[in-house]
Structure 1
């Protein structure tokens, strides 16, 4: 199995860092908190490997013969741990991609649930609800929550296009503010899917799904493993944040959802997502 080389995306790739002034709904706050954790774990792994190698070099230098010490501490740094991180780069890259895309899907689901619970008429359709379903609940609010959760689950299986169409048709807002955003997010989601279901090896299904979202900064070849490089991840994850922040602002304004600054949020909100009342 051959392996594709990550394409250079920019001279300086800098991931977004959450700013204190960012306005967030509850769903957006949880998205930002998880995004920060995903990045912090990556930095922690790299920094820890570097520090271990540095300490090993300092110890080796201190115990070396006086003549050998002339080459300095760096001369004793074998970078064993950093090389180990490089050996595991495929898995580290995969975890970054899957974690970030899953985080975005969770944000979309939670935001839609908030809107549906506030404006239940959005759920109106010709779909049937059985008597058995209704009798499980004692309150109308619980029925609404159940229906909202069911619709969100349905959308999650329908893919990004179905979610975009639902947001446009039922909420009257657009998921993307530019075609570039849709292309990059489609690529991000499909890379996550091919890593989840085919260990990152590009297949015909993957190429078909990104056909309309081809991008000059990404090259995919059938039968090759695609590893997302750091520059690629920054481009894709920053776009993910841009889409989320835009959608959060538009939806919150239209449906009067409460938003507050990121740094002033109650941290307990990070674990209080809207849930199905039947969930254990």
Structure 2
């Protein structure tokens, strides 16, 4: 089991980015813990077998028993279910991405209320239900965020560009990648990971046919998680500069995302 050295990183970030990074790290820690726990269980089982047998390391019977641990031990059981674990990580990573966008919009709307200007009407009784302008702005901001939450990523991008002059993606390639990642998450959640006609219409470059099941590789999982993180860090930096978001907090964490590679425990976890 080969560990990857994790470096301590201290940064000053916006509160919404801190929340995103906190969840990002939590996912990595969870996966690392599960992998290490499975490895420790098998290692301790082998230690117990050797101690109880009293045989030398080259004893054929002992070697057979130790090999059996590799075949039916905790790591082997984990390998049988690792595809589900990868799907869970991807789904949570996408949810974390979308939550960050909601947090960011809330901050922008409430600190820069002029961004809420529109021709939309609001009932007088709703206006009078609030005791201050700040409360009213918060209400309108939350209402707009709830509306945007049900829009597609393409529609959200268009809204931010047209209404706020803010580019959500750093070019067409990143836009296609993020939209594909979100659509993969939607398939995993709503269609048991099977390709649908709608998915292939939205992501025409994706290889596969209707009804095919998405198979996430470990490297693909890492690429998805890291792509979402890179996108959020770029968005946060641009938003800070454009909207003068001055509130920051100190944040300390360790990189990389995981301290152990799954395939270092067992090749078929790759």
Normalising to structure 1: TM-score of the pair?
0.79
1:200 aligns with 2:193: yes
1:232 aligns with 2:220: yes
Distance in 2, Cα, partners of 1:181 & 1:153:
25
The equivalent of 1:43 in structure 2 is 32
Shift of 1:77: 2.9
The equivalent of 1:77 in structure 2 is 69
1:92 to 61, 85, 89: 85
1:64 to 53, 63, 66: 53
1:247 aligns with 2:240: no
Shift of 1:129: 1.3
Question: Is the 1:113–1:149 contact (alpha carbons within 8 Å) kept by the matching residues of 2?
Answer: yes
Gaps of 5+ in 2: 254-270
Gap change, CA 1:247 and 1:19, over 3 Å in 2: farther
Distance in 1, Cα, partners of 2:48 & 2:104:
52
Distance in 1, Cα, partners of 2:7 & 2:201:
35
Normalising to structure 2: TM-score of the pair?
0.82
Gap change, CA 1:229 and 1:133, over 3 Å in 2: farther
The equivalent of 1:105 in structure 2 is 98
Question: Is the 2:49–2:66 contact (alpha carbons within 8 Å) kept by the matching residues of 1?
Answer: no
Aligned pairs for 1:29-178 within 5 A: 29-66=18-55, 70=59, 75=67, 77-78=69-70, 79-178=72-171
Question: Is the 2:193–2:213 contact (alpha carbons within 8 Å) kept by the matching residues of 1?
Answer: yes
Distance in 2, Cα, partners of 1:166 & 1:18:
39
Distance in 2, Cα, partners of 1:235 & 1:220:
20
Gaps of 5+ in 1: 1-14, 265-280
Distance in 2, Cα, partners of 1:132 & 1:230:
54
Shift of 1:226: 0.7
Comparing 239-248 with 73-82, which one deviates more in the overlay?
73-82
Aligned Cα root-mean-square deviation (Å): 2.4
Listed one character per residue, the Cα deviations across residues 176-204 of structure 1 (whole Å, up to 9, x for unaligned) are 12322112111110001111111111111
